[in-house]
Amino acid sequence: MRHYTHINDLDNLQETVKEALELKQSELQFENLGKGKTICLLFFNNSLRTRLSTQKAAQNLGLNTIVMNFGSEGWQLEYEDGKIMDQNKAEHVKEAAQVVSQYCDIVAIRAFAGLEDKQLDAAEVVLNNFIKYATVPVVNMESSVGHPLQALADAITLEENKVSHKPKVVLSWAPHPKSLPHAVANSFINMMQLQDADFVITHPEGYDLNPEIVKDSNVEHNQEKAFENADFIYVKNWSSYKDYGKVIPQKKDWIISDDKMNITNNAKFMHCLPVRRNVIVADEVIDSENSLVIDQANNRTYSAQIVLKKILEEL
């Protein structure tokens, strides 16, 4: 594998999940694979899990890691071709991406959607320019459109916790006071479309995601109906896609409470974190034994590790 920007960059999701679970059993078995090599982690946005789990994964493979908070510490980058750079942008991505490539063998990038300009976000300007100008493989640590390391960790967690062959998995929108990206939901949908599962997306009217990503996945606007017989409830807030980046009516009653979980088939609760307690999910649900949020965060290490292993093997 050259770059990892989308779950479809994996040849076979099911095989990759199996390989990740084997790595989890013995996480240092490839500790020499990355010896003498370096990964640069560039963050244009905040992080807890992605930063630490990717660094841990790299360490387990013997890679050196350089981390930079590009958003706060780097020069502001220009992405437009032919631009007269007489304003506030000090450096062009053409040089920056090539320069970063001098110091590492893999570069990983986090650059969230701005949520102001739909076309600009859809163009994945930061990620695609790094792919274009960097001379090393690029890993997506959450871009405008996707968060495929999270989706792979979620696939690992589903595999570990499913009891039936074809579980019912529900992706539910939940309320949040701020405007949040679509990336986690998008990648979760991409991943679920590769699974043998009864998959349902539920959200209030007006929160439809990009139809090119949703494709023919089931959408149910009645949250309680969607929860019937569910084995997994995967929760995420996202802002409106149609009224791009807007928080349209709050729908506070979409919070995940015990009452709602009681409709399900004793479902497991999942969320990628960070989560706002008692806004997205009630304490009683996230603190219950059915909550998988810490397992998901743990699996971020093995998701990143299997991806870095596949890239290292082809360097």
Please give the residue ranges that form the binding site for ligand CP (CB under 6 A): 47-50, 142, 150, 272-274
- Binding flags for ligand AN0, 260-299, as an x/- string (CB under 6 A): ------------x-x-------------------------
181 binding partner (options ligand AN0, ligand CP, none; Cβ < 5 to 8 Å by kind): ligand AN0
AA letter at 133: Y
Give the binding range for ligand AN0 (CB under 6 A) out of 124-132, 180-188, 278-286, 304-312. Answer: 180-188
Q: Does 183 bind ligand AN0 (CB under 6 A)?
A: yes
Q: Does 63 bind ligand AN0 (CB under 6 A)?
A: no
Residue 150 Cβ vs ligand CP, minimum distance, rounded to whole Å:
5
Farthest CA pair distance, the chain = 60
155: Cα within 13 Å, side-chain hemisphere: 32
Structure token digits, residue 185: 């939901």
| C-alpha span between 309 and 28 (Å, rounded) | 12
User: Which residue in 176, 164, 196, 163 sits closest to 271, CA to CA?
Assistant: 176
Residue 181 Cβ vs ligand AN0, minimum distance, rounded to whole Å:
4
Backbone angles phi, psi at 232, to 5 degrees: -140, 135
Contacting residue, 137, 146, 175, 181, with ligand AN0 by CB under 6 A: 181
CA 156-159-164 angle, 5° bins? 165
| C-alpha span between 110 and 95 (Å, rounded) | 19
Contacting residue, 20, 125, 155, 184, with ligand AN0 by CB under 6 A: 184
Residue 272 Cβ vs ligand CP, minimum distance, rounded to whole Å:
4
